[in-house]
Amino acid sequence: MASDRRPDAAPPLRGQRVLVAGATGYLGRHLVQTLLDAGCRVRVLVRRPEQADSFPGAVDAFVGQVTDPATLSGVADGIDLVFSALGITRQRDGLTYLDVDYRGNLALLRVAEQADVHRFVYVSVLHGTQLRRSVQLVAAKEKFVDALVASPISSVVVRPTGYFSDMGEFLAMAGRGAIPVIGDGHLRINPVSGRDVAAACVEAAGSTATQVQVGGPDILDYEQLARAAFAAHGTAPRIRHIPRGPVVAAVWVLSRCTPQRIHGPLQFLAAVLTHDMVAPTVGSDRLVDYFAEQVATAGTAATTAR
């Protein structure tokens, strides 16, 4: 099973002063560790002072909110590189995708421009240019990509397929007894770990690339993905196939009669599950190992709670 560190992270960044936005999220925490392993001096942008305590002592924490640009003054001072994994995962505080994924990142970009930051690394999503037409979350991300491309700062957009943490929903459904799969289940995805995406981001930062697609080493169709989730639990697979048409229609109706915090995640999920999401492979972390670790951790927690 893979180790917890990536000592072989791209060396050209050693000694660079780096800012990570979205540092408290799944990918952000992997980015912070990968950058520290690469010999970088890391600053994180956090919303609340107490969040600083969750990072290693070598990390400098700056408290500010991208939705309030006035609080970002000085955040990029002395910074060479900015990494942004900033975005809404679960909507709260009445904020929208445009508020955070677009305007929040844009506020960060403007501060970076004023501070003469050398390079900006932004994490969007695979097939963003196509999905932006039908998915509000992706539209907000790609609206920022447009602004980033137009900026004088050198930049690269990293486009992962889907994180292992996202695949955890398959594991949860398997634990509940059944997994619904849209269509015949033969569309494919190669999910990737946060650690491998972080390593790809660091490598991209030290390159001349402007777009990088990132996927994991295992290409699975959704039927195989569902079976892997049941195998991790040691239970017989129960997979229910749902026609694509009714799913797309239901999401369309919800997008017109429910708030974005309800229909937004469903809209994104339906889009991902009805497209091939395969990108060039990186890293060595395996989804089956992640599933096994999650099941073992849940079992240990349950035993401790008794």
Q: How does 114-136 read in b/e, with b if 16+ C-beta sit within 10 Å?
A: ebebebbbbbbbbbbeebbebbb
As a whole number, mean pLDDT of residues 135-154 equals 96
**Tens of pLDDT, residues 194-211:** 999 999 999 999 999 999
**Tens of pLDDT, residues 33-79:** 999 999 999 999 999 999 999 998 899 999 999 999 999 999 999 99
User: Which of the four pLDDT bands, split at 50, 70 and 90, describes residue 102?
Assistant: very high
User: Which of the four pLDDT bands, split at 50, 70 and 90, describes residue 4?
Assistant: very low
Phi, psi dihedral angles at 280 (to 5 degrees): -55, 140
Q: Which residue did the predictor score with more confidence, 134 or 77?
A: 77
Task: Please give the distance of CA 128 from its chain centroid, rounded to a whole number.
Answer: 13
**Tens of pLDDT, residues 207-257:** 999 999 999 999 999 999 999 999 999 999 999 999 988 888 888 888 888
Long-range contacts, 233-240 (Cβ 8 Å, 24+): 233/171, 233/174, 233/175, 233/295, 235/174, 235/177, 237/174, 237/179, 238/177, 238/178, 238/179, 239/178, 239/179, 239/180, 239/181, 239/185, 240/178, 240/179, 240/180, 240/181
Question: What pLDDT is attached to residue 3?
Answer: 35
Nearest in space to 37 (alpha carbons), one of 70, 63, 13: 13
Determine the Cα–Cα distance for residues 164 and 162; give it in Å rounded to an integer.
7
Nearest in space to 182 (alpha carbons), one of 223, 219, 220: 223
User: Which of the four pLDDT bands, split at 50, 70 and 90, describes residue 260?
Assistant: confident
Question: What pLDDT is attached to residue 257?
Answer: 82
User: Which of the four pLDDT bands, split at 50, 70 and 90, describes residue 300?
Assistant: low
User: Which of the four pLDDT bands, split at 50, 70 and 90, describes residue 9?
Assistant: very low
Determine the Cα–Cα distance for residues 225 and 237; give it in Å rounded to an integer.
11
Give the H or E element holding residue 83.
strand 81-84
User: Which of the four pLDDT bands, split at 50, 70 and 90, describes residue 303?
Assistant: very low
Residue 1 has pLDDT above 70, yes or no: no
Residue 305 has pLDDT above 80, yes or no: no
Residue 167 has pLDDT above 80, yes or no: yes
Task: Please give the distance of CA 274 from its chain centroid, rounded to a whole number.
Answer: 19
pTM of the model: 0.90
Question: What pLDDT is attached to residue 90?
Answer: 63
Question: What pLDDT is attached to residue 92?
Answer: 64
Question: What pLDDT is attached to residue 301?
Answer: 59
As a whole number, mean pLDDT of residues 144-172 equals 96
Q: Find out if CATH 3.40.50.720 is the number for domain 11-163+193-215+279-285.
A: yes
